[in-house]
Amino acid sequence: MVVRTSSSPSTAAEALSALRNAPPLVQCITNAVVTNFTANALLALGASPAMCDIPGEAGMFAGVAGGVLVNLGTPTAEQREAAREAVAVGTPWVLDPVAVGALPVRTALAHELLEAGPAIVRGNASEILALAGAGAGGRGVDSTDTPDAALDAARALAVRTGGTVAVSGAVDLIVDADRTARVPGGSDLLTRVTGGGCALGAAMAALLPGAAPFDAAVTASAIWAVASERAAAVAAGPGSFAVAFLDALAAIDPADLDGRVAA
Amino acid sequence: MVVRTSSSPSTAAEALSALRNAPPLVQCITNAVVTNFTANALLALGASPAMCDIPGEAGMFAGVAGGVLVNLGTPTAEQREAAREAVAVGTPWVLDPVAVGALPVRTALAHELLEAGPAIVRGNASEILALAGAGAGGRGVDSTDTPDAALDAARALAVRTGGTVAVSGAVDLIVDADRTARVPGGSDLLTRVTGGGCALGAAMAALLPGAAPFDAAVTASAIWAVASERAAAVAAGPGSFAVAFLDALAAIDPADLDGRVAA
Amino acid sequence: MVVRTSSSPSTAAEALSALRNAPPLVQCITNAVVTNFTANALLALGASPAMCDIPGEAGMFAGVAGGVLVNLGTPTAEQREAAREAVAVGTPWVLDPVAVGALPVRTALAHELLEAGPAIVRGNASEILALAGAGAGGRGVDSTDTPDAALDAARALAVRTGGTVAVSGAVDLIVDADRTARVPGGSDLLTRVTGGGCALGAAMAALLPGAAPFDAAVTASAIWAVASERAAAVAAGPGSFAVAFLDALAAIDPADLDGRVAA
C-alpha cells in the first residue's frame, strides 16, 4: 500500500478559512454530558451548532445542515432513532463511537450506523480497535491504547467505510485508505475537561462542508493542538483551561495551523 | 392603535429589586444544551432554579413555582408531556419556541401550548415570524431577520395570546397589545455563547412573580444588555465572556438599569 | 448510643491519596443540569467519570466501575430503569435524592432504591428529613432546614441503610449508625453554582473504592470546603468561582485536608 504524505499545511489553513467565510450549520446528536461545551466550541470556532435529536425532526434537520455529528455517549432510545434518521439523508457526517465495545446498546448501534458510511470516524485508540473488531474496547471513555497501536485497525476501518478515521491521543493519527497524517502537540489538560474529544468530532463535522473528510479531520486536530497549547499557557488548572480553550478557538487564525501536521 | 411609551426606567429597577427581595422558584423545562447555563444564570441573578421536566411531577412543581419556562430546543416525548402539564396549572409562564417553523414536532407543540396563554413569548425574529404565521422560520436557532422586521408579527401574536412578546436581536423589541419598548446595547459576544437567549427567557420567568409580563420582559432584556456589556469589557473571548456574564448578573444593581429602555 | 469521634484528619488525606494513586472509574446516573460540571469536577479531582444511564448498559457498567452515583434530579423513565440496574450489581453507590418528598415519581424511586442499601445517602437537610419520613421536603432543590435539624433523621436513615448519611449545609454533617462528623468551612458561593452538591455526591462515589463510606463522605466534604474557600478567595462572582473551584480541586493536596474535620 502506498502511504501518501499528509495534507499540506496550507490545506488546513484553507479549511479553517472556508469555515469562517461560510459558517456551517452543524447538527449534533451528542451525549448529555457535553452538549453545552460542544455547542460553545462550535460557536467559538465560527460555526453554527444545533442539537436536534428528536425523531421526526432529526432527519429533516440533517438535510439542511452542512455537517452532522453522531456521538454515542448517552444514546437514549429517542437519540438512537434520531441518529438513524440523520445518517440516512446523505449529509456528510462524523461518527464518534464513545465507549464502543463492551456496552451492547451503543455497540450494536455503532455497527449499524457504520453501514451508512460516515465521512469520518473519530475515537480514541481503544474505541477504534473495538469498532474495527480488533480489540475489546477501553475502560469506558478512557483509552487504554495509543493511537499508533490502532493504526492497522484504523486503516482497515477506513477501507471499509470509504472514509477517514481519526484516532485521538497524545499524537493524533488520521488515516484514510491510503494516506496517513499525524498531529502532535496539544496539552494533557484537554484530557481533564469532559468533552474535549467529543467537541473535536463536532469540529470535524463543521469543517466537512468546506473540506474533504481527510483534510477536515487533520484540520480539526491541528486546531485542537494549537488552541490547547495556548489555553494551557494561561490556565491555572482544568477549569480555567476550558475557558481559555474556547477563547483560543475564537482567536485562532488560519495561518496558525501552518506546520502543525506531520506525515 | 395607540402605542404607549415603554415602561419607565424605575419599573425595571423595581422588578429586579422584587426578585432580589423575594427569590422566586423558577421551573424550567428547557433544552439539554443550556440547562446548566440557564440554572447558573438564574442563581447568579438571585433566583432559585429547578428543572423538573418529568411527567407526573412537572405540573405539581409548576403549581408551587413563581414562574415557569417552557423552551422547545430539544423536546423529548417526556418533555412535551411535562410541558403540557406545566402550562395547565395557571402559574405565569414563558414560551421560548426555539427553531419553530420548519421542524414539525416542536412547531405542533408550540401552537398547542400557545392556546394556554403564555405571559411572555420570547424568541428571535425568525421564530416570532414563524409562530405568528408570517414567516418560514430561520436557520435552526439562528435568526435571519431583525427584530423590527417582526414588529407586526409580534404585535399580532401579543394580541392573540393577551400577553407580551419579546423579540431578541441587536436591539431587543418588547411588545404587548398596545405598548412597545426597545432595549439597545449588549454585546455580540452573547451570540457566541450557547443559551444566551434561552437563559434570557428564564430570567423573564424569574421576574414574573414580581412584575407584570411586559415589565418582566423589558427588565430581563435590560439586565442582559448591562451584564453583556460589562462582561465584554473584561473578556478575552467567548469562553471568558460567559464566565464574566454570570459574575455580572450577580453584581448588577437595580439602579444600573436606569436609562436602558427606549420607547 | 455511643457517638465516636470523627475520622482522623489523616484518614481524609489517605482517602484522597488513594484516589490519586488509583484513579477510579465512577459511573454517574445524574440529572441533566449538572452532568457537565459533575464530570469536570471528577476529572479535576483525578477520577475518571462516565455517565452511562441507558437501560441494558447501566448495570453492566456499574459492575466495572469502582463507585456509582444515582442522582434523582431529572429522573427520566430510562434513567429510572438504569438506576435500578446499576444499584443491583453490588458496587458501592451513593444516592442523592434531589427534591425528594413532594414530587411523587422520584420519591417512589428513592424509597425503592433505598432498599438496595446505598453506601452513602447525600442530600440537604430537607431531603434527608423527607427521605427519613420526618419532613415534607424543602422547596425543590433548596433546603429550608439546617443540617443539625436533620441529625436524628440522618441517624435513623443510616441505621436503616447500614450506611452513611451526609447532610450538606453551612456545616456539613456526616453520620453513620454510631459516628458523627462535622465539616465546617467552605463558601456561600458554592450555593450560587448549580450542581455544587450534586458533584459532591459524585466525589463521594469516587472515594468509595479507596475508603470506607463514612470516611469517603467526610473526605469529600473536606475537599469541597477547602476548594470552595480557595476559589472564593480569587473569584469575582459565581461564574469565576465555578471555574476556580475546578482549578482548586485539581490542585488540592492530601495534606490540605488536615484539621478540616470536627467531631
A173 touches chain B (CB under 8 A): no
Average pLDDT by stretches of 10, chain B with 263 residues:
46 96 98 97 97 96 97 98 98 97 95 98 96 67 77 97 97 97 96 97 98 98 98 98 98 95 76
- Residues of chain B in contact with residue C40, where contact means CB-CB under 8 angstroms, are none
For residue C175 the three cell numbers come to 453520620
CA C115 – CA C95 distance, rounded (Å): 11
- Can you count the helices (H) and strands (E) in chain A? 10, 8
The answer to whether B217 touches B122, Cβ cutoff 8 Å, is: yes
Contact assignment for C40 to A99 by CB distance below 8 Å = no
The answer to whether A9 touches A260, Cβ cutoff 8 Å, is: yes
Instruction: List phi, psi (to 5°) of A166.
Output: -115, 125
C36 touches chain B (CB under 8 A): yes
DSSP designation for B96:
E
The answer to whether B165 touches B154, Cβ cutoff 8 Å, is: yes
CA C226 – CA C244 distance, rounded (Å): 12
Contact assignment for C37 to B32 by CB distance below 8 Å = no
Minimum CA–CA partner of A100 in chain C: C57
Q: What is the pLDDT of residue A102?
A: 84
pLDDT level of residue A19 (50, 70, 90 thresholds) = very high
Contact assignment for C246 to A237 by CB distance below 8 Å = yes
Q: What is the pLDDT of residue B144?
A: 65
CA C234 – CA C229 distance, rounded (Å): 9
Q: What is the pLDDT of residue B165?
A: 98
Contact assignment for C57 to A103 by CB distance below 8 Å = yes
C60 touches chain A (CB under 8 A): yes
For residue C103 the three cell numbers come to 414530587
Min Cα–Cα distance to chain B from C110, Å: 14
Pick among B246, B252, B253 to test the C interface (most C CBs inside 10 A)? B246
Question: Which one of B51, B60, B246 has the shortest CB-CB distance to C33?
Answer: B51
The β-bridge partners of A124 are A168
Instruction: List phi, psi (to 5°) of A194.
Output: -70, 135
pLDDT level of residue C209 (50, 70, 90 thresholds) = very high
Question: Which one of B52, B78, B250 has the shortest CB-CB distance to C103?
Answer: B52
CA B45 – CA B201 distance, rounded (Å): 13
The β-bridge partners of B175 are B165, B180
Percent of chain A residues topping a pLDDT of 90: 89
Q: What is the pLDDT of residue A40?
A: 98
Percent of chain C residues topping a pLDDT of 90: 89
Strands C93-96 and C120-124: parallel
Cell 403549581: give the residue: B63
CA A106 – CA A110 distance, rounded (Å): 6
For residue A65 the three cell numbers come to 445542515
For residue B184, give the nearest of B199, B200, B173 by alpha carbon. B173
For residue A214 the three cell numbers come to 481527510
Min Cα–Cα distance to chain A from B74, Å: 6
Q: What is the pLDDT of residue A218?
A: 97
- Residues of chain A in contact with residue C36, where contact means CB-CB under 8 angstroms, are 33-34, 36-37, 194-195
For residue A256 the three cell numbers come to 496558525
CA A66 – CA A211 distance, rounded (Å): 11
Q: What is the pLDDT of residue B4?
A: 38
Which of A62-76, A136-150, B110-124, C154-168 has the least mean pLDDT?
A: A136-150
- Residues of chain B in contact with residue C140, where contact means CB-CB under 8 angstroms, are 25, 27, 48, 50, 52, 61, 64-65
| Predicted confidence (pLDDT) at residue C220 exceeds the cutoff of 80 | yes
Decide: helix, strand or coil at residue B107: helix
| Predicted confidence (pLDDT) at residue C138 exceeds the cutoff of 70 | no
Task: Please report all neighbours of A, defined by 3+ CB atom pairs within 8 A.
Answer: B, C
Q: How far is CA C28 from the centre of its chain?
A: 11
Report which secondary-structure segment, H or E, holds A73.
none
What are the angstrom distances between the C-alpha of B130 and each of A102, A111, B73, B217?
A: 45, 39, 15, 20
CA B121 – CA C161 distance, rounded (Å): 47
DSSP secondary structure of A89-122? S---EEEE-TTTTT-HHHHHHHHHHHTT--SEEE
Instruction: List phi, psi (to 5°) of C195.
Output: 90, 0
Q: What is the pLDDT of residue C134?
A: 73
DSSP secondary structure of chain C? ---BPPPPHHHHHHHHHHHHHSPPEEEEE--TTTHHHHHHHHHHHT-EEE----TTTHHHHHHH-SEEEEE-SS--HHHHHHHHHHHTS---EEEE-TTTTT-HHHHHHHHHHHTT--SEEEEEHHHHHHHTTSS---BTTB-SS-GGGGHHHHHHHHHHHTSEEEEESSSEEEE-SSBEEEE----GGGGGSTTHHHHHHHHHHHHGGGS-HHHHHHHHHHHHHHHHHHHHHH-SSHHHHHHHHHHHHHH--GGGGTT--B-
A78 touches chain C (CB under 8 A): no
For residue C123 the three cell numbers come to 442530600
CA C255 – CA C44 distance, rounded (Å): 17
Contact assignment for A51 to B31 by CB distance below 8 Å = yes
Q: What is the pLDDT of residue A2?
A: 34
Minimum CA–CA partner of C49 in chain A: A141
CB-count exposure of residue A159 (10 Å: 0-12, 13-18, 19+): middle
DSSP designation for A5:
P
- Residues of chain B in contact with residue C74, where contact means CB-CB under 8 angstroms, are 51-54
C36 touches chain A (CB under 8 A): yes
Pick among B243, B249, B252 to test the C interface (most C CBs inside 10 A)? B243
| Predicted confidence (pLDDT) at residue A3 exceeds the cutoff of 50 | no
What are the angstrom distances between the C-alpha of B243 and each of C45, C226, C232?
A: 21, 22, 14
Residues 218-247 of chain B with CB under 8 A from chain A are 235-240, 242-243
Pick among A34, A40, A190, A194 to test the C interface (most C CBs inside 10 A)? A194
For residue A160 the three cell numbers come to 471499509
Residues in CB range of A30: below 8 A, 6 or more apart:
A38, A51, A53, A69, A70, A71, A73, A96, A198, A202
pLDDT level of residue A262 (50, 70, 90 thresholds) = confident
CA B72 – CA B61 distance, rounded (Å): 19
Pick among B33, B42, B54, B91 to test the C interface (most C CBs inside 10 A)? B54
- Residues of chain B in contact with residue C139, where contact means CB-CB under 8 angstroms, are 25, 48, 64
Instruction: List phi, psi (to 5°) of B28.
Output: -115, 120
Q: What is the pLDDT of residue A143?
A: 64
Min Cα–Cα distance to chain C from A160, Å: 27
Min Cα–Cα distance to chain B from C94, Å: 21
Q: What is the pLDDT of residue B143?
A: 64
For residue C69, give the nearest of C223, C216, C242 by alpha carbon. C216
| Predicted confidence (pLDDT) at residue A142 exceeds the cutoff of 80 | no
CA A249 – CA A34 distance, rounded (Å): 17
**C-alpha angle C184-C186-C190 in degrees, rounded to nearest 5:** 135
The answer to whether C109 touches C80, Cβ cutoff 8 Å, is: yes
What are the angstrom distances between the C-alpha of A256 and each of A43, A187, A219, A247, B85?
A: 19, 16, 11, 15, 52
Residues in CB range of C115: below 8 A, 6 or more apart:
none
What are the angstrom distances between the C-alpha of B117 and each of B7, B88, B112, B134?
A: 22, 10, 10, 19
Q: Report yes or no for ipTM above 0.90.
A: yes
The answer to whether B138 touches B126, Cβ cutoff 8 Å, is: yes
For residue A8 the three cell numbers come to 499540506
pLDDT level of residue C1 (50, 70, 90 thresholds) = very low
Pick among A35, A60, A252 to test the B interface (most B CBs inside 10 A)? A35
pLDDT 10s digits, C58-102: 999 999 999 999 999 999 999 999 999 999 999 999 999 999 998
The answer to whether A99 touches A107, Cβ cutoff 8 Å, is: no
The answer to whether C121 touches C165, Cβ cutoff 8 Å, is: yes
Mean pLDDT of the residues in chain C: 93
Q: What is the pLDDT of residue B263?
A: 66
Cell 480541586: give the residue: C249
B259 touches chain A (CB under 8 A): no
The answer to whether A27 touches A38, Cβ cutoff 8 Å, is: no
Q: What is the pLDDT of residue C5?
A: 43
User: Where in B1-107 does DSSP place strands (E)?
Assistant: 25-29, 48-50, 67-71, 93-96
pLDDT level of residue C254 (50, 70, 90 thresholds) = very high
pLDDT level of residue A121 (50, 70, 90 thresholds) = very high
Contact assignment for B44 to C99 by CB distance below 8 Å = no
Q: What is the pLDDT of residue C142?
A: 57
